[in-house]
Chain A
Amino acid sequence: MINGPAVLVEGLGKTYPGGVRAVDGISFAVERGEFFGFLGPNGAGKTTTIKILATLLPKTEGRVEVAGLDVIREPKAVRQAIGVALQEVGLDDLSKGRDFLELQGVLYGLSRAEARTRATELLELVGLSSVADRKVGSYSGGMRRRIDLAGALMHNPGVLFLDEPTTGLDPQSRITVWEHLEELNARGVTIFLTTQHMDEADRLCRRLAMIDHGRLVAEGSPAELKAGVGGDIVHVAFDAGESPDEGVAAALAAVRTLPGVRQADIDDNGLIATVGDGGAAAPAIMAAFQDAGLSIANLSITRPSLDDVFLQHTGRQIRDSDADGDAEDRMWSQWMGVNRR
């Protein structure tokens, strides 16, 4: 039985050969039965962290315990206690779905008969019974994630590590995966999930940590984090006109001095300001833009999202759009021998 938290991380650091500092002294704990999210942009250190927790990658410093076991001293026991589905980690395309699961089962110590029974159960659970005898290589993206998830569950692990389980999936498949995860968590499985999708973290995670440049920038329940932003978010899209830089800088400076404005930044989409009361602040913000010679195309007031929480702590937004492309480029160049780590 697990004593203490399901995951305990203290002062974890990872420097890759060549000097890249991927994880820079993070500490957190995940309680048993919790649904914990690790949220951050691509390259923030999420995958590195999950690989260290799952014993696939050695750490540079710090202490890591999973299921009450030290990952360095007892890697085998840790592996037996956890289930893992990583983003870039590997399905066996030439194997049939059922064979893939049965092999996972016997490698985790199940007997062949047990593995067969369990595979049938899990194929049913993830809705892949009808394609069980087809090769994994013929599966769609959503089916691949589900067979991978089923593989991670073959030995009934108490802790599940999932690296971006829905990245690249269509909306319907994402919801299906989410429902499976919620059901597992309801049955008592501790889930540690990384994601770069705010909506995913918001819906699934009871608690989450935000990571950026290898450091934790915020931690708490989604509601707590959003409340921490403390007010409304005003987005202003504007037409920069003739002299963009000066006008924009002047408007930003003016907005920052307005009463009730806690934070204001400019990004590609325009200005984003955190204010106590959106309705009260909007007229003054519009005036500031007019004074700077900028015409406003659109102004909206929203309740804070997790995106705004991230913005508040890092001054940047998490960009979903270009993240997948980066990951693919990285993998491609790595395997072509261009950019070896």
Chain B
Amino acid sequence: MLVLRESYFIYVRNLKTWLAQPWMIVAAVLSSAFMFLFFGEPLRGITALPGFPADDYQAFLAAMVIVMAVVFSGSDMAMVLLTDMMSGYVDKLLLSPVNRFSILLGTLLIGGTRAMAQVLAIILVATAIGVRFEGGILGILAVIVGATLLGVAMGCVGLIVAMRTRSVQVTVNSWLLFMPLAFLTSAFMPRDLLTGWFQVAVGLNPIEYIMVAVRAVIIDGWVWDSILPGIWILLATTAVLIGAATYEYRRATN
């Protein structure tokens, strides 16, 4: 219970810090809108390819915009933590008698919150440009919950990067680490239509299965064969990464 109380206070502080930087939020929303604009518009004609699963390319793209935004939020979380490490605020928290795990939890929860808020904004943008969610309101809720979990998982990766390297130049560039996770996927084209080594690599990327599940909810509705693998992989990835981040955090703070 004490851990929950402490995590709550640390979470609220992190939330206020985030909200105190409105440009971070504006930029996050704008970058997603740009994705629809700069990828969706020029690639619109792809839907005419034989075997392409959607009529509306923006609807196909929406899964990519959502998943990519959340994946790259891991890099933001690395910078958030590194900023607190550099200013000495993490040490300030470590000097207090709070449980170490409360600090970690308060930080991971903000990763989830940021992902949740961003995905909510993306869904609004997508709806505004005419994307229909076949999975309905429940589908939208499911996507938001999934994105929150993925935000926590990617936040874990970001935390590990910041704690391991303690370096601005590495952390600022940590989006490079997330790039293959985000792009070695069926982001622009269904996996069936991909070829060669790229298709193989996409099949090995856990994020791909999450993206496929999100896309299924958007363009097909509740097609469990596409959705379930994504759910299992999301849960497993999140669990493993929380474990790894906890281990790394213990190592760094003892």
- A interface list, Cβ under 8 A from B: 54-56, 58, 76-77, 79-80, 84, 86, 88-95, 99, 103-104, 106-109, 135, 151, 334-337, 340
A108 and B170 contacting across the interface, CB-CB below 8 Å: no
CB distance from B95 to the nearest CB of A (A): 5
Contacts of A135 in B (CB 8 A): 20
How far is A99 from B167 in the complex, measured between Cα atoms in Å? Answer: 29
Instruction: Kindly supply a per-residue 1/0 record for chain B positions 89-111, scoring 1 wherever the CB is within 8 Å of any chain A CB and 0 otherwise.
Output: 11111111110000000000000
B13 and A103 contacting across the interface, CB-CB below 8 Å: yes
Check A337/B96 contact, CB under 8 A, given A89-B91, A92-B87, A95-B16. Answer: no
B162-182 at interface with A (beta carbon < 8 Å): 165-170
Check A91/B93 contact, CB under 8 A, given A99-B16, A107-B9. Answer: no
A56 and B91 contacting across the interface, CB-CB below 8 Å: yes
A92 and B17 contacting across the interface, CB-CB below 8 Å: yes
CB distance from B211 to the nearest CB of A (A): 33
CB distance from B192 to the nearest CB of A (A): 43
Closest to B21 in A: A94
Q: Dominant SS at the A interface?
A: loop
- B interface list, Cβ under 8 A from A: 5-6, 9-10, 13, 16-17, 20-21, 84, 86-98, 165-170, 254
Contacts of B13 in A (CB 8 A): 92, 95, 99, 103
Q: Dominant SS at the B interface?
A: helix
Closest to B91 in A: A89
B95 and A55 contacting across the interface, CB-CB below 8 Å: yes
How far is A80 from B2 in the complex, measured between Cα atoms in Å? Answer: 15
Contacts of A109 in B (CB 8 A): 97
* List of 5 A-B pairs having minimum Cβ-Cβ separation, nearest first: A90-B88, A337-B167, A89-B88, A90-B89, A79-B97
CB distance from B180 to the nearest CB of A (A): 23
The residue that B98 contacts in the complex, of A84, A88, A107, A334, with Cβ under 8 A, is A107
B169 and A336 contacting across the interface, CB-CB below 8 Å: yes
CB distance from A328 to the nearest CB of B (A): 13
Contacts of B9 in A (CB 8 A): 103, 106-107
How far is A104 from B13 in the complex, measured between Cα atoms in Å? Answer: 11
Closest to B95 in A: A84
CB distance from A216 to the nearest CB of B (A): 25
Closest to B98 in A: A107
How far is A80 from B167 in the complex, measured between Cα atoms in Å? Answer: 31
Closest to B92 in A: A90
A340 and B97 contacting across the interface, CB-CB below 8 Å: no
How far is A88 from B92 in the complex, measured between Cα atoms in Å? Answer: 10
Closest to A55 in B: B95
Closest to A51 in B: B91
B17 and A94 contacting across the interface, CB-CB below 8 Å: yes
Contacts of A86 in B (CB 8 A): 88, 91, 95
How far is A95 from B14 in the complex, measured between Cα atoms in Å? Answer: 10
Contacts of A92 in B (CB 8 A): 13, 17, 87, 89, 92
How far is A91 from B17 in the complex, measured between Cα atoms in Å? Answer: 12
How far is A336 from B86 in the complex, measured between Cα atoms in Å? Answer: 10
The residue that A95 contacts in the complex, of B17, B90, B91, with Cβ under 8 A, is B17
How far is A55 from B91 in the complex, measured between Cα atoms in Å? Answer: 10
Check A76/B97 contact, CB under 8 A, given A94-B17, A107-B9. Answer: yes
